[in-house]
A and B are shown apart, each in its own frame.
Chain A
Amino acid sequence: GNSVTQMEGPVTLSEEAFLTINCTYTATGYPSLFWYVQYPGEGLQLLLKATKADDKGSNKGFEATYRKETTSFHLEKGSVQVSDSAVYFCAGSGYSSASKIIFGSGTRLSIRP
């Protein structure tokens, strides 16, 4: 079946470090791919998205490129800040007409000052 797999956390980095959170998907079609961020005690916020192969989503210094050949959508940021500490979810949708989103398990990111 369709699935989204992301690297397990927690991930702890120092401020200004380079961030990569890996995400891969399985699909029989061409899903839309998303990264969501969840700050403590809050709901999910859309961070970025890509709807077709080779698209690059970007927002707030974060980037992810839809790679069809490797079925990946890794999240990257060149220089993280303490305020980036949150849980990040990779997700895919468009697998069915019901527009269900399939979420990865989430990766908790902590940034040290």
Chain B
Amino acid sequence: GAVVSQHPSRVICKSGTSVKIECRSLDFQATTMFWYRQFPKQSLMLMATSNEGSKATYEQGVEKDKFLINHASLTLSTLTVTSAHPEDSSFYICSASKGDSYEQYFGPGTRLTVT
């Protein structure tokens, strides 16, 4: 168990538009979900932490009005990149944890390209 999916796996959008990425825990209830960004050949950078039904906690330097996170249920969190620009192009990865466990289960990632 502990499978996390992301949709879409790849998305190309035009500059100025918004794009939504979904993260789902398929076989467990995720008390906490995390969103990461990964630049080419670099490590993962935590963007925000979200708990179901409450506002996300953003890391320093991450614009909360640009990266909207909604954690509406225990199995779904969404990241919306608003007014996307080419510099937002990146690999976005979500993860989920359950209960009191410190372990996170990662999704397969979404590659966003803004043209």
Residues of A in contact with B (beta carbons under 8 Å apart):
32, 34, 36, 41-46, 49, 89, 93-94, 98-101, 103-106, 108
Contact = CB atoms under 8 A, between A and B. Distances in A.
Contacts of B107: 43
B42 A106 contact: yes
B112 to A, nearest CB: 14
B109 A43 contact: yes
B73 interface: no
6 contacts: A36-B106, A41-B109, A43-B107, A46-B103, A99-B102, A106-B42
Question: What size tier do the contact residues of chain B reach?
Answer: 20 to 34
Nearest to B92: A43
Interface stretch (B11-19, B43-51, B60-68, B77-85): B43-51
Nearest to B4: A43
